[in-house]
Structure 1
Amino acid sequence: MIKKLLLSIAAFLILGIGALVYLVAPHVATPKFIVQNKASVPIKVTAHWREKIKDLGELSPGTMIEFEVTDEAAMEFKATYPNGRVASSFPAVYFTSGTLTNAVVTDSSIEVITQL
């Protein structure tokens, strides 16, 4: 009887800890960013936050790149087209632990969506 009770308590604790980890993990995870080039031309992309700049390089049409930043701030993306035109995702979007930010570069603009 006591053995069954102890096993039940242990199973309950294991399930409880697992549920807690599942619920808390997204809120402490490193912010992730995905940048997609849906433009018809190659573009050069940079990410700007605080006083930092991350050069994501040149993305061919249809290319996607992922990166992480261990920080909490507002980020702006800039895309330079082959003709020299620069598009910006201004205003910058806020990111924090557990956020996933998608930036999609098109032939005319940069669309940014952040989700938790």
Structure 2
Amino acid sequence: MKKPNKYVEKRRQPRIKKCISFEIKTNGSTIAAESIDLSCIGVNCRVNKYIHAMTNLKIILALPCGDQEKEAEYVECNGVVVRVEKTSSKADVGNIYVMAIYFNEISESVKEKIANFLKKSSGHS
């Protein structure tokens, strides 16, 4: 008997594929990042600098809002790198890394702002 091929989300918080430019601060330097997907507890992103796993970071997200999402609401939280891999995409020029960040210090108000942004982005307002 064939089992149904139904994908079940196993994450605690669903992720939404959304490209957002944001900043990562670590050891006195600021690194530009671009999200691949985002949830209330973490982000997958692209960066052009290698950052070791388990590095603590400050994340500053600019959540698009307003008409045509031309305005941004800035939210901050702390995170830790849980995975980093060099990409092998021919479309990426130079050294590009895909990094997973877990938000280990995030206020409930920031979580709520991200959740509201994700609901609007997915069309479930």
TM-score by length of 1: 0.37
Work out which structure has the larger RCO, using CA pairs closer than 8 Å and 6 or more positions apart in sequence: 1
Larger of the two Rg values belongs to structure = 1
The alignment's TM-score, normalised by the length of structure 2, stands at 0.35
The answer to which structure has the higher helix fraction is: 1
